[in-house]
Amino acid sequence: GTGGMGEQDGMEGVDEQDEPQGVGEQGGIAGADEAAIDLCDMRHLPRSKFWGPRWKELSQRLENHGCERVRDAAVMPKSTPGVSEKNLCLNAFLHLMASFGIIYHCGADGEATEFAEGERVLEDPRKAKLQRVGETVDFAFGKWRGFRIHSGQGLRFRQALASLCQVELRDVGDYPAHQLGFSEKDFKNQIRDNFGRAPDKSMWSRFGFSPCPGDRHNAWSMALEGEEGWFCVHPYTVEYPLGGAGGAHE
């Protein structure tokens, strides 16, 4: 629906000459960058740990997007266990961020690579791998192998992510510096837990990235800034079948 859009009425006449003066609510981001944040902004919905309402809305917003990868992500099917609404949201979000030039797909070395070797990804291929004990998994949900935030785009990425996750992003100085404007709880839940890895039985419930290079203090922060770090996948072998003992909880 179009509910909640009223506050944007009358904004069409604002042009860029008004922009450099100061920093607006969203950090003074103009044009396309503001659209990137608006498209994934879920703060008008009742705040909830459940991602179903957010996935429904994000899917509808993006199903006719100009970028094919974003459209494919927006209609990717859910299946439980294995393909959660949270990971579907994060997958579409990452493709949206890539379409706006905020992030790019990369390999374990942080160098730019073509996503999925140029193939379309219409469903999550990780689920099938997680169903087979002994299988090596070398990509995250949706076939992501890694991503890196373009230089200078860290704040835009964090603003968009906070709006999707329905949390507040504050000035970096408001919290310990490594949290980059997120509260301690939000940094753990929305960054490390959502994008990270889990013990084998519930690996499917997380997106599946590790921060790189991972041997450094505050590796997650460095990946989230993008200047010296990135997100990648450390391959692992499946020891318990998806949906096996203890594996079917969402």
CA dist list (Å): 246 to 50, 137, 206, 242, 249: 20, 20, 15, 9, 7
Q: Determine the pLDDT at residue 10.
A: 37
What b/e readout covers 201-214, taking b as 16+ CB neighbours within 10 angstroms? bbbbbbbbbbbbee
The CA-based angle 51-99-70, given to 5 degrees, is: 45
Q: pTM to 2 decimals?
A: 0.85
Please identify every stretch of the chain with a pLDDT value under 50, giving residue numbers as ranges: 1-30, 245-250
For 132-159, how does the pLDDT look when each residue is reduced to its tens digit (9 = 90+)?
A: 999 999 999 999 999 999 999 999 999 9
| pLDDT number for residue 200 | 77
Q: Specify the pLDDT at position 217.
A: 84
Name residue, tokens 């990270």: 196
**Rounded CA separation 56/158 (Å):** 22
